Amino acid sequence: MGNAGRKSLSNLWTSRKKNGTLVSSYRYVPPTMEDWKLQKGDLLEVIGETEQWFYVRKLSLRSSKSRRHREKRGYIPVEFMKRVTNLEAQPWYFGNVTKRLRAKRHLLKKENSEGAFLVWKCAKENQYYLSVRCGGNVKHYKIKEVSGSFFLVSSKTFPTICALVESYSRDPGVLCQKLKKPCLKVKKQPSSVGRKDKDWEVDRGSFVKVEKLGSGEFGEVWQGVLNDTVEVAIKEFKAKNPDILNEIEIMKQLHHERLLKLYAVCTRDEPVCLITEFMKNGTLHRYLREHNEMKDIEFPRMVNFAIQIAEGMAFLEAKKIVHRDLRAENVLLDDSGCCKIGDFGLAQSTSSGEQEILMSTKLPVKWMAPEIFRGSKYTVKCDVWSFGILLHEIVSFGEEPYLDQNKAFCVKAVQKGYRMPKTPNCSQFLYDVMLLCWRSNSVERPGFVELQDKLKAAVQEPVLEEKERNTEEKDCTTSL
C-alpha cells in the first residue's frame, strides 16, 4: 500500500468511530515491513477502511492486560477478512450441518472432549441450534430469536449468537456443561468430483507402500502415502481384467461421504493399483467382533451404523448401481468411527437393465436374496435383503449369519421361507426392519430411503417446547 493511501486511510480513521471486529480468513504475509503478518483466526479491531484495505489493531485474550499489544496496528487487504458477526467466520459454526444426527456425529469423534460444542442451522426448521458434548452424549439447545435478540431461555438474551456463545463459555447457566473448545473440523481430503479420465491416472512413483494390511485371490492391500502427504490404502491386483476395470469405473462415480473415496489409479502396467482413502479403524465386522465378549455397543450406536450404511446405499440406489456384496466385512470405519461402504468388485450399473449374477462358491451366498437362487436378475431389492442380513451382523456383534449352517442349507431354507430368529439382545424394532428386508416378494421390500427414515425415527432426539416445561432447561434436547 502506498504512502498516500496510508495517509488517506489514517485520516479516515481519525474521523470515524470504531467499526467493529474482524477475524482473518487466511494467513497473510505483507509485501512491506511496515505492515505485519497475520495468522488465520486472528481477531482484529477495525479503526478505518476503504474499498480495498482495513486499518486495524490486533486483539488477543491478553489485550486488556497489555496495552502495548493492543495498540499494534497495520493494513490488511479486505479480501483476507470476515466480520466476526458473520457466523461463517466462527470456528464453532458448522455450515454443512443441518440435522441433529450430523451434529452428534461430529461431536462424538474421539478428538473432541467434554464441553466441545458447535452451532448449526436446521434446514427443515430454519432454526439455529447449539450442540454440546456431555460425556458420551450430546445435548442440543434451540437458539430462539425474537426482535433481533437471541436466547436459550427468555430471561437471558443476547444481541448476537456470538455474544451468546461467549457468555456460555464463561458460565454454563442452563447448559449441561460450560462451552470449552469448538468441535474439531475435519480437514478436507483431495477432491475427486468433476475429474476427467486422464486425471485419475498417476505414476507409480507418486505413491509409496508402507505396510501390508491383507491379501487374497485378487492381490494385496497396503497402507501407503500418496504424493508424500495423503495417507491412503492401495489395492494391488495380480492381473488386469474386466472386473477390475469395472470396479474402477464404478468408484469414479461415487462422491458421497458414506462411500469409500477413490483418489487415483495406476493401470498403465501391472500390477494395477487402485488408491483410496485410508480407513484407520478397519472393517465394521472386525469392530463388532472386538466388542462381542463385552456386548458394550449401545442400541443408538448400532442404529447409527445402520443409518450411515443406508445413507450410502440410498445414494447407490439413486445412481442405479447395485453393490451385490453388502456385508459388515465390506463396511469400513474411519478414525472417528463413521461408516463407509467399500469393495465394489461385484458392483454393477443397472441403467442399461437389471443384472444377472453368476453363481460361484466365492459369492456371499448367506447374504443373497432367495430370488437370485431361482435365476432372477439382480436388483436393488437384493441389496435390501443383504442389508437385513447386515443388521443381523450388527445386533449379534459380528456373528456369521445362519450360524452352524452350510451354504446349501441356506439356499434351500430361505427359498422355503426360513428366516433367522431374533437374537436375545436384538430389539423388536430392529428385528421388524430385518423382516421387512427379508420379504419373499422383492417388490414389497422397502427402498433405502424408506429404511433410512425408519431407522432415524428410532433414535431421533425429541425437542421439548417451552409450553411443555416451566424450568429454565425447557429448550434442551438430550440424545438417547
Give CA separation, 312 vs 36, 161, 256, in Å. 47, 34, 7
Going by pLDDT thresholds of 50, 70 and 90, the confidence category of residue 384 is very high
* pLDDT of the residue at 423: 93
49-54: Cβ within 8 A, 24+ apart: 49/9, 49/12, 49/19, 49/78, 50/5, 50/8, 50/9, 50/12, 51/78, 52/77, 52/78, 53/1, 53/5, 53/9, 53/77, 53/78, 54/22, 54/78, 54/81
Phi, psi at 372, each rounded to 5°? -65, -35
> Most confidently modeled of 295-304, 381-390, 403-412, 454-463?
381-390
How far is Cα 467 from Cα 279, in angstroms, rounded to an integer?
46
* pLDDT of the residue at 350: 83
Walk me through the domains of the chain, giving residue ranges and CATH numbers.
Answer: 3-84 (2.30.30.40), 89-185 (3.30.505.10), 200-277 (3.30.200.20), 284-346+359-459 (1.10.510.10)
pLDDT at 99 over 60: yes
Name the residue with higher pLDDT: 168 or 2: 168
Vertex 198 angle, CA 195 and 199, to 5°: 45
- The cell numbers describing 313, all together, are 446405499
Are 123 and 130 in contact by the 8 Å Cβ rule? The answer is no
How far is Cα 274 from Cα 236, in angstroms, rounded to an integer?
7
Does the annotation count 325 as an active-site position? yes
How far is Cα 334 from Cα 230, in angstroms, rounded to an integer?
15
Task: Convert the pLDDT of each residue in 416-429 to its tens digit.
Answer: 999 999 998 899 99
How far is Cα 190 from Cα 208, in angstroms, rounded to an integer?
17
- Give the type of residue at 79: E
pLDDT at 463 over 80: no
State mean pLDDT over 68-96.
67
DSSP 38: B
* pLDDT of the residue at 6: 44
Are 252 and 199 in contact by the 8 Å Cβ rule? The answer is no
* pLDDT of the residue at 79: 55
Name the residue with higher pLDDT: 459 or 161: 161
- Give the type of residue at 425: N
Are 54 and 44 in contact by the 8 Å Cβ rule? The answer is yes
* pLDDT of the residue at 102: 86
How far is Cα 452 from Cα 276, in angstroms, rounded to an integer?
26
Q: Is 235 annotated as a binding residue?
A: yes
Task: Work out the end-to-end distance of the chain between its first and last CA atoms, rounded to an integer number of angstroms.
Answer: 56
> Cβ–Cβ contacts within 10 Å for residue 78, how many?
12
**Alpha helices, DSSP H, located in 75-128:** 100-107
Q: What is the 3-state secondary structure (H, E, C) of 96-152?
A: CCCCHHHHHHHHCCCCCCCCCEEEEEECCCCEEEEEEEECCEEEEEEEEEECCEEEC
Listed residue (349, 345, 343) closest to 321, CA to CA:
349
* pLDDT of the residue at 418: 97
- What's the alpha-carbon Rg for the chain, to the nearest Å? 27
Task: Convert the pLDDT of each residue in 195-254 to its tens digit.
Answer: 666 789 999 999 999 999 988 878 899 999 898 788 899 999 988 888 888 899 999 989
State mean pLDDT over 48-77.
58
Q: Give percent above pLDDT 70 in the chain.
A: 74
- Give the type of residue at 429: F
Vertex 113 angle, CA 285 and 106, to 5°: 55
Residues contacting residue 308 through CB under 8 Å, at least 6 positions apart: 258, 338, 339
* pLDDT of the residue at 113: 92
Task: Convert the pLDDT of each residue in 322-370 to its tens digit.
Answer: 999 999 999 999 877 889 999 998 999 887 554 555 444 467 999 999 9
* pLDDT of the residue at 51: 63
| CA-CA-CA-CA torsion sign (292, 307, 109, 428) | negative
Q: Which residue has the cell 486511510?
A: 9
For the chain, how many helices (H) and strands (E)? Answer: 13, 20
Task: Convert the pLDDT of each residue in 268-300 to its tens digit.
Answer: 888 999 999 999 899 999 999 999 999 999 898
pLDDT at 80 over 70: no
* pLDDT of the residue at 473: 39
Active-site position among 325, 343, 383, 475: 325
**Which of these ranges, 137-151, 157-171, 195-209, 371-385, has the smallest mean pLDDT?**
195-209
DSSP 343: -
- The cell numbers describing 238, all together, are 495380480
Q: Give percent above pLDDT 90 in the chain.
A: 54
Q: Strand pairing partners for 233?
A: 223, 276
**What number of CA atoms fall less than 13 Å from residue 428's CA on the CB side?**
0
Is residue 2 helix, strand or coil?
coil
pLDDT at 444 over 90: yes
* pLDDT of the residue at 81: 55
- Give the type of residue at 187: K
Element housing 380 (H / E): helix 380-395
How far is Cα 114 from Cα 138, in angstroms, rounded to an integer?
10
pLDDT at 381 over 50: yes
Cis peptide bond N-terminal to 271, omega within 30: yes
Mean residue pLDDT across the chain: 81
* pLDDT of the residue at 125: 87
Going by pLDDT thresholds of 50, 70 and 90, the confidence category of residue 138 is very high
Buried b (16+ CB within 10 A) or exposed e, 64-77: eeeeeebeebbbbe
Give CA separation, 98 vs 94, 102, 125, in Å. 9, 7, 10
* pLDDT of the residue at 383: 98
How far is Cα 303 from Cα 119, in angstroms, rounded to an integer?
24
